[in-house]
Structure 1
Amino acid sequence: MPSAPLNVPVEGTVAHRPEGPLLRLSRRLDGHDTFLTGSLDIADQSVPVRILTLDDVTVLRPTSGFRTPADGEHWHGRLHLPHGLRPRSVPPDLNSVADQEGRSLDALDGAELRYVLTFLSEATTPDIRRVRIEAVVSALPAAAGRNQ
């Protein structure tokens, strides 16, 4: 991951919840570390936020109080990410097993690839990673020109 911080222009709407305000981005924050923290410059304030990116949406949850816009109100600001980009490439071990088995990783869409990369990165031992790779590869379709 790059060590240089990233500064991303963002915008969205506010949703107030009992546990506090959520700042929903109008576009999913793609390719960045999630479930981490950053800071948001919004309305002349710098607000520490927790970044929650799910399959279809990114939500920023302020970790300290600030002057929150009204529920449903549109906002814009600049998100500062100290932790950089997430790797998006297929790891060599997964690619190798898929090639050996004649399976196509191209069948994975963006959300599925994110899920697979997270699933593999959370393996706590080499044996667990190997089994997870086998599970992923077994679910892939045959590569073009290969009958399985």
Structure 2
Amino acid sequence: MPSTSMNVAVHGTVVQGPDGPFLVLSERLDGHDTFLKGSLETGGERIFVRILTLDDVTVLRPAEHPAVPAVGTEWDGTLHLPHGLRPRTVPPDLEQAAAKEGRALEALDEAELRYVLTYLSESTTTAIRQARVEAIVSALPAITERPQ
């Protein structure tokens, strides 16, 4: 996946979170990876943020607080998203399980692979991860031998 950057015009409000200020976007950020790091340019400042997209709201959690506007302040800015910088490597447990079952991981396109890797990374226990690996592998097509 090539390394590119995307810039999105955003608007929002500063609210107080449990560990400091959050920047809540006025519109949900759709079609982008969640839990990414990025940066927000607003008011002549660049603020490094973690992007959290929930069911109906996108929240930016600043990595540093000094440059963040005061709680209750509305702001406009540009969110810089570093697409393609996250690794998209298949973990060994998934690769081994697919090979053992004769399944083709190569059949996954970029979006499907991204979904699979996110699904696996959100496993909270070893048992859940193993069950998810099994579910993914069972959905992959069988490797077919090519005629020589």
Task: Say yes or no: TM over 0.5.
Answer: yes
Q: Distance in 2 between matches of 1:6 and 1:128?
A: 31
Q: Distance in 1 between matches of 2:40 and 2:17?
A: 19
Contact 1:120 1:133 (C-alpha < 8 Å) held by counterparts = no
1:77 corresponding residue in structure 2: 77
Aligned residues: 111
Q: Distance in 2 between matches of 1:62 and 1:42?
A: 12
Distance 1:49 1:130, change over 3 A: same
CA shift, 1:52, in A, is 0.5
1:111 corresponding residue in structure 2: none
1:13 corresponding residue in structure 2: 13
Q: Deviation digits for residues 74-108 of structure 1, max 9, x if unmatched?
A: 11100001125xxxxxxx77xxxxxxxxxxxxxxx
* Unaligned stretches of 5+ residues in structure 2: 85-106, 109-114, 122-128, 139-148
CA shift, 1:17, in A, is 2.6
TM-score, normalising length: structure 2: 0.59
Q: Distance in 2 between matches of 1:129 and 1:53?
A: 25
TM-score, normalising length: structure 1: 0.59
Contact 1:120 1:132 (C-alpha < 8 Å) held by counterparts = no
Runs (4 or more) in structure 1 with deviation over 3 Å come to: 117-121, 127-130
* Unaligned stretches of 5+ residues in structure 1: 85-91, 94-116, 135-148
Distance 1:9 1:36, change over 3 A: same
Contact 2:47 2:68 (C-alpha < 8 Å) held by counterparts = no
Distance 1:55 1:118, change over 3 A: farther
Percent identity over the alignment?
A: 50
Tell me the C-alpha RMSD between the 2 structures.
Answer: 3.6
Q: Distance in 1 between matches of 2:16 and 2:132?
A: 40
